[in-house]
Chains A and B, each alone.
Chain A
Amino acid sequence: MNELMIIIFAPLLAGVLAWLLDIKGVREGLGVIGAALPLAYLIQAYQTLGTQSSIQYSILLAGFKFEFLLYQINWIFAMIAGVVGFAAVLGMVSTARDSYEWLFALMSLTGVYGVFLADDLASFFIFWEIMTFGSFMMVLKYNRKASLKYFLLSVFGAYAMLIAIGIIYAKVGALDFATIQQAFYQDAMRGTFGADTLFSRNDMLLVFGLFLVAFGVKAGMFPLHVWAPDAYSETNQSYTAMFSGVLSKAGVYGMLVIYILLGTRLVYQFGRIGAAPKFGYIIALLGGLTIIVGGLLAALQEDIRKLFAYSSISQIGYILVGIGVGTALSIEAAIYHAISHALFKGLFFLIVATIVLRTGKTEFKDMGGLAEKMPITFAMAFVAILSLAGIPPLVGFASKWLLFEAVIHENMPILGGMIFFGSAIGFVYLIRFTYAVWFGQRPTELDDTKDAPLPLAIAMGILALLNVVFGIAPGLVAKELNKIFGKEVIGGTIYELNLGFGRYNGLFITIWLVVGIVIAAIIYFLGAKVRKVPVTDTYQAGNPVTMEYNLTIRRNFFLPLKETLAFWLRMSFDRLYQDIGNWVEDLAETLRHYVYNGNVQAYAWYLAIILLILALWGV
C-alpha cells in the first residue's frame, strides 16, 4: 500500500467506519484519526520530496490507469487540506450531531486529497465529484434549497469539465497530465513554426471556457458565486472551515492546472497583455470583480455566516488575480494567499461555529458584547481579524503584500485598483463583525454564554498559531513556494521577503510592533487612573439610559453604503439564475402538457410524422 493511497483514502475509510459503528466517542475518535493520518503522512513525505522530486503511484482499474503524483506544488495544496481539514474535524468533535456528518465531511476531505494528488484527468474528475457529493450531502442535511442550488451549479461545472476532458482525450488520446502537457506544448511549437495545429483557435477557446466554468464554480468566481453564500452558511459551521478553506482551493488548484496543461498553447494562441497572458487576464479580471462584489455584499449581510461566506468569495478573488497575472511572482503570491486564506478563513468559520454552538444565534441583531463572555474565542477572532485585514505581523499581510507587489510590478492599474479596493472593503466588513458580535451592549439572554469547548479551542489554537508563525516568519512559506519554480523568485531569509524591488521583514516589524505596544502600555499605565464603568454609562447626549435601550447598532450597519449601491444591488446574478431555473421548469411543464397530452390520436400522429420523415430521408 503506497502512502499516497493512505493519504487519499484514510479519511473516507474513517468516515465509513464512523458511520457504521455510530458510537458516540468512537466516531469522533475515528474522524480525528482519519484527518490526522494524511497530515502525518504528508509531513513525512516532505522528507522524501527533499531527496527525490516526486512520489507517484498508479492503479489499473476498470480500464483506466489512475495515476497519482505528489510533487512540490500539490504537496503545498495537500498540506493546506491537511492542516485546515484536521482543524475542522477537531471542531466537528464539538459541533457534529451524528455519524452522517462524519461520513460526508470525511468523504469530501478524501475528494480534496484526490483532486490535489491526481495526475490524470480521470482521477481528477472522479475525486472532484466525490468532493462535490460529500459537501452537497453536508449542506443537504441543513437546507434542501441551498444544497440543490450548490449541486446544480457544481454539476454544470463538473460536466463542463467532463466535456473539456472529452475534447482533450479525442484529440490527444491520453488522460495523464504529462502526455497532455507534452501534446499541448508540441502543438504550440507546431503553431510557432507555421504548421497545422491539432487544436484550432475555437477548440482552445472552448476548452479554456469550459475549464474556466468548471473551476470558477468551485472557487466561487464572480458570476458563478451565487451558491457559496447559501451553501457556506447552511451547514455545520465547523465543516465550513474546511468547505471554504480547502474545497474552494480545489477551484484555485484547477486554475493552476489550466496553466500547467494548456498554458503554453493558450499563450501561443491568444498572446499576452503586458507580462500577463490574455487568458490569465480574463481570470484576473473576473477575480477582481469577485473581490469587489464579494466584499461589498459581505458588508451588507445581516447574518454572521453569510458575511463570512461573501468574505470567502472576496478573498478567493485575490488568489484568482494572482494566478491570472501569471508571472512566477504573482503565482507564488497567489498560492501564498491561498495558504493564508485557508488559515484565517478556517479560523473564522471555527469562531462562527463556536458562536453558533454557544449562543444558538446567527444574526447580528441578536448578538453583541460577547468578548467578555468568550475571551478565548475573542482572542482567536482578534488574530483572524488582523490576519484577514492584512495587519503586519500576521500571515494575511505577507500574502497580500506579495500580491500587491506582483500586480504593481507588472503595471496593471485596473487590477491594482481592484485589489486595493478589496483590501479596504475587507476592513469594512470586519469592523461590522467586530462591532456587532464582540463589542457593545450584550443582550440579556446571552448573559450565561460559555466559552469555546476544548476541541474547538484546540482547533482554533492550531490555526491561530500558524497565522502568527507564518506571519512573523514568512520565509518559511516562501522557501517552499520557491521550490515550485526551482529558482529564487522570492528571496530573503526566513524572516524576510526580498523581491529585489521591495522588502518585508516580518520579525523586524513584530519587534517594532512589540516595542511600540510596550511604550504605549507604559504611557497608559503610568498616567491613567482606570475606572470600570457599566456599558450604560455612556454619553447619550446627557440622557440617562438603562439596559432596556439598545445602544448598539445591530441592523443595517452600512445603510448609507446600501443606499449608495442601490442601483447596482438591483442587479443580482442570484435572481438571474433563479429566473433561468423557473423558465426551464416552465418549459418542462409546457412540454409535458403539449407532447404527453394523453390523446391517443396525437401519439399516432407522432408515429406518422416520424415515418414521414424517415420516408423523406429515403430509408
Chain B
Amino acid sequence: MVDWRLFEPLFEFARKRSLWIVAFCTGCGGIEMPPLMTSRYDLERFGMMPNPAPRMADLFLITGYVTPKTLKRIIITYEMQPDPKYVMAHGSCPLNGGIYWDAYNAIKHLDKYIPVDVYIAGCMPRPEAVMDGIKKIMEMIENGTADGWKRYKENYEYYKKNQDELFGEGWREKEARKWIPWLMDKRREE
C-alpha cells in the first residue's frame, strides 16, 4: 500500500463532488426523493446520483421513520458500502422518533445503531432543506468532520451491543433462515 495522506485534500475534494446515493427509500421521505433528483431542484449538478447498489455508493439517505425490520436491512446495506461512507437522516423520525415517539415499532434514536453525519429536521423537510443538508455534508467532508464511518469502526462494540439488544443475538442468521421452511413448503407444492 502506498501512503496517500499527502493527496487526502484532493481525494476529499473529489469525494464531495461525486456523492452517489444508495436509493434506499424508507418511510414518507421516499416520496420526497424524486423532486430532489428531477428538473426543479436537480441534485445532479452537485455530482450526485441515485444508485441501486450499495457497493458503488457512498451516501446513505435515511428518509424517514425506521422500523426494526427495516433497520436490519439498513445495517446490512450500510456495512456493505465501502469506506468512506456518509449517512444523512431526513426528518424528525430518525432523530428522536418524531410523531412515532410512543410507537412500539419505530426506532427512536437511529444514532444508536448506525452513525449519522447530518440530520435534517422537519416533517418532511423541504427540498431546499435537504439541499442545505447536502451542502453541510459537503463542507463536513471537506474539513474531515464527516467521520461516521470511522466512528462505526472505532465504536463497533457499542453499535453492536445496541443492535443485539434490539434484535437479539445472531439476528442475521435467524432472519435469513426464517424463510427456509416456507420455501421448502413451496417446493413441495410444485
Contact = CB atoms under 8 A, between A and B. Distances in A.
Nearest to A542: B73
B177 A539 contact: no
A537 interface: yes
A195 interface: no
A551 to B, nearest CB: 11
A544 B172 contact: yes
B180 A548 contact: yes
Given A539-B54, A544-B172, A529 B76 contact: no
Contacts of A543: 73, 76, 175-176
Interface string A524-537: 00100100000001
Nearest to A541: B73
Contact of B176 (A539, A541, A545): A545
Candidate in B54, B55, B83, B172 with the most chain A CB atoms within 10 angstroms: B172
Contacts of A529: 1, 83
A548 B178 CA distance: 11
B24 interface: yes
Given A526-B2, A529-B1, A542 B177 contact: no
Candidate in B2, B54, B76, B177 with the most chain A CB atoms within 10 angstroms: B76
Contacts of B157: none
Nearest to A538: B80
Nearest to B55: A539
A549 interface: yes
How many B residues touch the partner, as a band?
10 to 19
Contacts of B176: 543-546, 548-549
A539 B74 CA distance: 12
Nearest to B77: A542
A238 to B, nearest CB: 37
Contacts of B1: 529
Contacts of B175: 543-544
Contacts of B136: none
A543 B76 CA distance: 7
Contacts of A544: 72, 76, 172-173, 175-176
B74 A542 contact: yes
B28 interface: no
A539 B79 CA distance: 11
Contacts of B14: none
Interface in B10-35: 24
B53 A542 contact: no
If over half of A's interface residues share one DSSP class (helix, strand or loop), that class is named, otherwise mixed; here it is loop
If over half of B's interface residues share one DSSP class (helix, strand or loop), that class is named, otherwise mixed; here it is helix
Interface in A107-152: none
Interface string B42-86: 000000000001110000000000000000111011001001000
A543 B80 CA distance: 12
Nearest to B184: A548
B80 A539 contact: yes
A539 B24 CA distance: 12
A539 B2 CA distance: 30
A542 B76 contact: yes
B24 A542 contact: yes
Nearest to B171: A544
Contacts of B24: 542
B44 to A, nearest CB: 24
B66 to A, nearest CB: 13
A537 B80 CA distance: 8
A543 B2 CA distance: 35
B173 A539 contact: no
A529 B4 CA distance: 12
A541 B52 CA distance: 9
A541 B24 CA distance: 9
Nearest to A531: B82
Contacts of B173: 544, 546
Candidate in B72, B73, B176 with the most chain A CB atoms within 10 angstroms: B176
A279 to B, nearest CB: 53
A545 B178 CA distance: 10
Contacts of B172: 544
Contact of A539 (B72, B77, B180): B77
Nearest to A546: B176
A63 B165 CA distance: 96
Interface in B134-179: 172-173, 175-177
A69 to B, nearest CB: 63
Contacts of A548: 176-177, 180
Contacts of A549: 176
Contacts of B53: 539
B22 to A, nearest CB: 9
Contacts of A537: 80
A545 B72 CA distance: 12
Contacts of B74: 542
A548 B173 CA distance: 10
Contacts of B76: 542-544
A539 B80 CA distance: 8
A542 B60 CA distance: 13
Candidate in A541, A542, A545 with the most chain B CB atoms within 10 angstroms: A542
Nearest to A530: B1
A289 to B, nearest CB: 37
A526 B1 CA distance: 6
Interface in A374-405: none
25 contacts: A529-B83, A537-B80, A539-B53, A539-B54, A539-B55, A539-B77, A539-B80, A542-B24, A542-B73, A542-B74, A542-B76, A542-B77, A543-B73, A543-B175, A543-B176, A544-B72, A544-B76, A544-B172, A544-B173, A544-B176, A545-B176, A546-B173, A546-B177, A548-B176, A548-B180
Given A542-B74, A543-B73, 10 more contacts: A526-B2, A529-B1, A537-B80, A539-B53, A539-B54, A539-B77, A542-B24, A543-B175, A544-B175, A548-B176
Query: What are the nearest 4 A-B pairs in CB distance?
Result: A542-B73, A544-B176, A544-B172, A546-B176
